[in-house]
């Protein structure tokens, strides 16, 4: 049976993340008015498996753990592309995630082990709506960019690890499955060990389903001249998702005889920006 301190240690980072979300809520609500900055939080349960002789020998081929954290998305600039409703844009992303991970041997002569990990992530992504490439296609975007992170671990022998990959993802940007994606990454992930951390490829699939949303009012119609026929009302903007469930699967390989891995997660996410905006709007 797990001791109370161990359980408390695992849940403490998630509690801290929730506290930070509440502290940031007022400023997030003001930033959300421009629809450029988004702050979200999540909690999930994570299951992973290592495929390597070292993991099998140590009896550590699988691990499971609760995880949670905060994610930010800042739309820095929109690219002018005519009358497109959803324009291409450059995003900067980041976040902090706390979980437990299987860590490959970080140095020659060390062994595989399980460690608490604090993942400090960041990235830059160019988002291209597919309607730019395929006429009439709406609600799906292609995202091309870089995603990386510094992983701080709870053991002195693993210390500081690096994750850095170029990514191409196809993402659903509208409807009840907003956020669902399938993507490919190529680069470095040192959590798989000193001898298998480079030249890695992964396939990532995420299915997300909105369970709570907030409707947006329809944009105002332009004024009409006296006696002129009134212009048809514009449709309401797509609803903003506020809470969703998700399931992720990532398969990662070095393409050779070294460590391969698979991670699966299922959990609940909520948009701190949308909740803060709704709460502060109702208070005025």
Q: According to the model, what pLDDT value does residue 18 have?
A: 52
CA–CA separation, 130 and 229 (whole Å): 35
For the segment 141-162, the average pLDDT, to the nearest whole number, is 86
CATH number where 73 lies = 2.40.128
Count up the domains in the chain and report the number: 1
CA–CA separation, 79 and 128 (whole Å): 10
For the segment 7-17, the average pLDDT, to the nearest whole number, is 49
Closest alpha carbon to 246 in 183, 179, 185: 179
Is 206 within a domain?
yes
For the segment 75-93, the average pLDDT, to the nearest whole number, is 82
Is 178 within a domain?
yes
pLDDT band at 56 (very low <50, low <70, confident <90, very high): confident
Is 224 within a domain?
no
CA–CA separation, 243 and 40 (whole Å): 10
Percent of the chain surpassing pLDDT 70: 73
pLDDT band at 157 (very low <50, low <70, confident <90, very high): low
Most confident of 118-122, 255-259, 277-281: 118-122
Reduce the DSSP state of residue 88 to 3 states and report it. Answer: coil
CA–CA separation, 64 and 82 (whole Å): 48
Predicted TM-score of the model (pTM): 0.78
Percent of the chain surpassing pLDDT 90: 49
pLDDT at 180 over 90: yes
**Mean pLDDT lowest among 115-119, 171-175, 221-225:** 221-225
Is 92 within a domain?
yes
CA–CA separation, 16 and 11 (whole Å): 9
pLDDT at 276 over 90: no
For the segment 11-35, the average pLDDT, to the nearest whole number, is 48
The model's pLDDT over 207-265, given as tens digits with 9 standing for 90+, comes to 999 998 876 655 555 666 666 666 555 544 556 789 999 999 999 999 888 899 999 99
Is 25 within a domain?
yes
Is 231 within a domain?
no
Closest alpha carbon to 277 in 35, 67, 72, 12: 35
Residue 145: domain span? 4-217+242-282
pLDDT at 171 over 50: yes
**Mean pLDDT lowest among 9-23, 61-75, 113-127, 136-150:** 9-23
pLDDT band at 132 (very low <50, low <70, confident <90, very high): confident
């Amino acid at each position: 049976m797990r001791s109370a301190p161990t359980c408390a240690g695992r849940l403490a980072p998630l509690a801290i993340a929730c506290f930070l979300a509440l502290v940031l809520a007022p400023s997030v609500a003001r930033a959300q008015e421009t629809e450029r900055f988004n702050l979200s939080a999540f909690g999930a349960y994570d299951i992973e498996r290592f495929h390597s002789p070292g993991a099998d020998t140590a009896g550590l081929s699988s691990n499971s753990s609760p995880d949670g954290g905060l994610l930010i998305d800042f739309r820095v600039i929109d690219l002018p592309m005519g009358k497109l409703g959803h324009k291409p844009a450059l995003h900067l992303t980041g976040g902090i995630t706390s979980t437990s991970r299987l860590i490959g041997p970080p140095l020659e002569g060390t062994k595989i082990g399980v460690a608490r990990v604090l993942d400090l992530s960041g990235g830059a992504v160019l988002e291209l709506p597919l309607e730019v490439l395929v006429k009439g296609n709406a609600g799906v975007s292609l995202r091309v960019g870089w995603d990386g992170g510094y992983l701080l671990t709870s053991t002195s022998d693993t210390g500081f690890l690096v994750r850095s990959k170029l990514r191409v993802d196809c993402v659903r940007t509208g409807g009840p499955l907003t956020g669902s994606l399938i993507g490919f990454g190529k680069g470095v992930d040192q959590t798989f060990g000193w001898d298998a951390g480079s030249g890695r490829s992964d396939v990532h699939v995420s299915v997300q389903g909105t369970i709570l949303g907030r409707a947006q009012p329809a944009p105002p119609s332009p004024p009409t001249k006296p006696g002129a026929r009134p212009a048809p009302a514009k449709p309401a903007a797509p609803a903003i998702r506020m809470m969703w469930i998700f399931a992720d699967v990532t398969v990662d390989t070095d393409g050779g005889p070294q460590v391969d891995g698979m991670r699966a997660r299922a959990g609940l996410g909520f948009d701190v920006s949308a909740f803060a905006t709704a709460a502060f709007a109702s208070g005025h």
